Amino acid sequence: MSVLEKTNSSALIALEDQYGAHNYHPLPVVLSRGEGVYVWDVEGKRYYDFLSAYSAVNQGHCHPKIVNALVTQAQTLTLTSRAFYNDKLGSYEKFITKMFGFEKILPMNTGAEAVETALKICRKWAYEKKGLDEHQAQIIVCDNNFHGRTTTIISFSNDENARRNFGPYTEGFIRIPYDDINALENVLVNNKNIAGFLVEPIQGEAGVYVPNDSYLKQVKALCEKHDVLFIADEVQTGIARTGSLLAVCGNCSCENHCEQQETYSKPDILILGKAVSGGVYPVSAVLADDEIMHVIKPGQHGSTFGGNPLAAAVATAALEVVYDENLAQNAKRLGKIFREKLNQYIQTSSIVKLVRGKGLLNAIVINDTEDSSTAWDICMKMAENGLLAKPTHGNIIRFAPPLVMNEEQLNECVEIIIKSVKEFER
Ligand code: PMP
């Protein structure tokens, strides 16, 4: 007997509703297949995927090179734990550290785990290298941050929905406004117990907020001056999504790590997840140089699955695709076209106020209150017209297609978006 019942969309939605926790509110579309920029529902209708699993599927659905690496490795060796060495991890570690310009990686699985790892490394560094008194370390974070769902991470969130009734909370965080260099300087000058500053180079979940061009450079300079670790959470913005290998690369759109670029702001700790595996397997990573990473000694941190040979093989293939297919350059070029076309449209729109973003991480802001259903209704209309996107924070719709999209496909998508939005013009 098969436990997987394959019927129609409404029956499958009812199954999830009855047996699954209600911790998501999905669009009522049941997907059963994906290829490149497309996904298909169980009835066979094709959609453009404009969410890419929150930027995990940058390389496109079921990329043959990545799937091939997965299948080959799955038939050979999947999990050993780190109690033993495996023959895939070392070369993956060499590849990813060279790719991003760091001396060490600590491999984990999900984004939230990698953020937790970075916070632990940062605190340990502060006590053992910077010389802070035990239990005194503070980490600065930003208003409207999103870094995951663990108890510590939601402790420093200001999203009441994510926090309420999950206390008691973890201490040791100071929240300041995002993209406000004076606020950062103010805390750094007045508090000697700061260990690090954790920041998203572009705030994704908050609604795709792109900071000032000079923000990250100034952040880096201030962190250096005050001997504080600059921790960049690139779980959503990394791996070519914003038109460069990392959002901290600034305006450089190459797929290489090139530190000489004037706009590059090298973090002390870099957090990656999602598209590290092209959405094929949960793989995340924390990267730092030796001086920082060496504070972690055997037995002090780990994960049964982190660094397993299946993850290493998949991530290596997924990162190679970023080079093979010039994903950063494509994201930069198509992102520009996307914003130009939508900006043209909103000149005459009463319902869309603003388009913003970088590379292929973009959003439109709907001219309605956060608790209105307009953005949701527009997403439903877009789904009907063959394109899947999801509102974030009520009146914002994020657009993040796979980066393997071509210009012709993008143009068709812009048409679908405009056609759908038009029905809501007042
Ligand atoms: N950091 C950022 C910036 C994210 O956008 C996300 C997920 N949206 C996370 C961390 C958490 O990743 P995960 O869901 O894999 O735990």
* Total residues found in the chain within this entry: 426
CA of residue 176 to ligand 1 center, whole Å:
20
- For residues 134 and 276, state if they share a domain: yes
Q: Ligand 1 atom 15: the closest Cα is on which residue?
A: 111
For residue 3, the CA-to-ligand 1 centroid distance in Å is 31
Q: Do both 31 and 130 map to the same domain?
A: no
Who wins on pLDDT, 394 or 311?
311
Nearest CA to ligand 1 atom 12: 111
Give the model's pLDDT for residue 224.
Answer: 98
The number of domains in the chain is 2
385 and 275 in a common domain: no
The reply to whether omega before 168 is within 30° of 0 (cis) is yes
Q: Do 155 and 303 belong to one domain?
A: yes
Residue listed under structure tokens 């005050």: 226
Residues 309 and 338 in one domain: no
CATH number at residue 251: 3.40.640.10
Same domain, 218 and 76: yes
Mean pLDDT of the chain: 96
**Residue with the two structure tokens 């791996």:** 239
Do 170 and 270 share a structural domain?
Answer: yes
Same domain, yes or no: 84 and 174: yes
| CA 156 – CA 192 distance, rounded (Å) | 20
**Is residue 115 in contact with ligand 1, taking CB distance under 6 Å?**
yes
Same domain membership, residue 148 and residue 175? yes
Give per-residue pLDDT as tens, 345-359: 999 999 998 999 999
Asked if residue 236 has its Cβ within 6 Å of ligand 1, the reply is yes
Q: Are residues 17 and 166 in the same domain?
A: no
Residues 6+ apart with CB under 8 A from 13: 28, 30
Q: What is the pLDDT of residues 289-345, one digit of tens each?
A: 999 999 999 999 999 999 999 999 999 999 999 999 999 999 999 999 999 999 999
In degrees and rounded to multiples of 5, residue 366 shows phi and psi of -85, 140
For ligand 1, whether the C-beta of 205 sits within 6 Å is yes
Of 291, 324, 357, the last residue of a domain is 324
Tokens in use for 403?
């980066």
Q: Which residues pair with 39 in a beta bridge?
A: 34, 47
The pLDDT value recorded for residue 262 is: 78
Q: Are residues 179 and 212 in contact, defined by beta-carbon separation less than 8 angstroms? A: yes
Using the atom order of ligand 1, give the atom closest to the CA of residue 237: 3
pLDDT of 69 above 80: yes
Q: How many whole angstroms from 139 Cα to the centroid of ligand 1?
A: 18
Asked whether 261 and 252 are in contact (CB, 8 A), the reply is yes
201 lines ligand 1 (CB under 6 A): no
Ligand 1 pocket check: which of 150, 274, 276 to mutate, most ligand atoms within 8 Å of Cβ? Answer: 274
Q: With CA atoms as reference, report the closest residue to 311 among 88, 98, 113.
A: 88
Is the CB of residue 154 below 6 angstroms from any atom belonging to ligand 1?
no
Q: Measuring CA to CA, which residue among 390, 384, 382, 391 is closest to residue 414?
A: 382
> For residue 255, how far is its CA from the centre of ligand 1 (angstroms)?
22
Whether 244 and 306 map to the same domain: the answer is: yes
CATH of the domain at 7: 3.90.1150.10
List the catalytic residues: 146, 233, 274
Looking at the structure, tell me whether residues 148 and 237 fall in a common domain.
Answer: yes
Pocket lining: 390 vs ligand 1, CB cutoff 6 Å: no
Distance between Cα 204 and ligand 1 center (Å): 9
With both helix axes pointing from N to C terminus, report the angle between 309-324 and 327-346 in degrees, rounded to the nearest 10.
Answer: 60
Point out the ligand 1 atom lying closest to the alpha carbon of residue 271. 1
Query: Quick check: 6 pLDDT over 90?
Result: no
Averaged pLDDT for residues 365-380: 93
Tens of pLDDT, residues 10-47: 999 999 999 999 999 999 999 999 999 999 999 999 99
Helix extents (H) in 178-270: 181-190, 215-225
Percent of the chain at pLDDT exceeding 90: 92
Q: Which of 324, 342, 364 is the last residue of a domain?
A: 324
From 324, 341, 364, the end of a domain falls on: 324
DSSP symbols for 249-318: GTT---SS--TT-TT----SEEEE-GGGGTTSS--EEEEE-HHHHTT--TTSS--SSTT-HHHHHHHHHH
Q: Whose CA is nearest to atom 13 of ligand 1?
A: 111
Q: Helix or strand or coil: residue 94?
A: helix
Mean pLDDT (whole number) for 132-153: 98
Domain that holds residue 401: 3-59+327-422
What is the structure's pLDDT at 255? Answer: 81
Task: State the Cα angle at 219 between 216 and 225, rounded to 5°.
Answer: 145
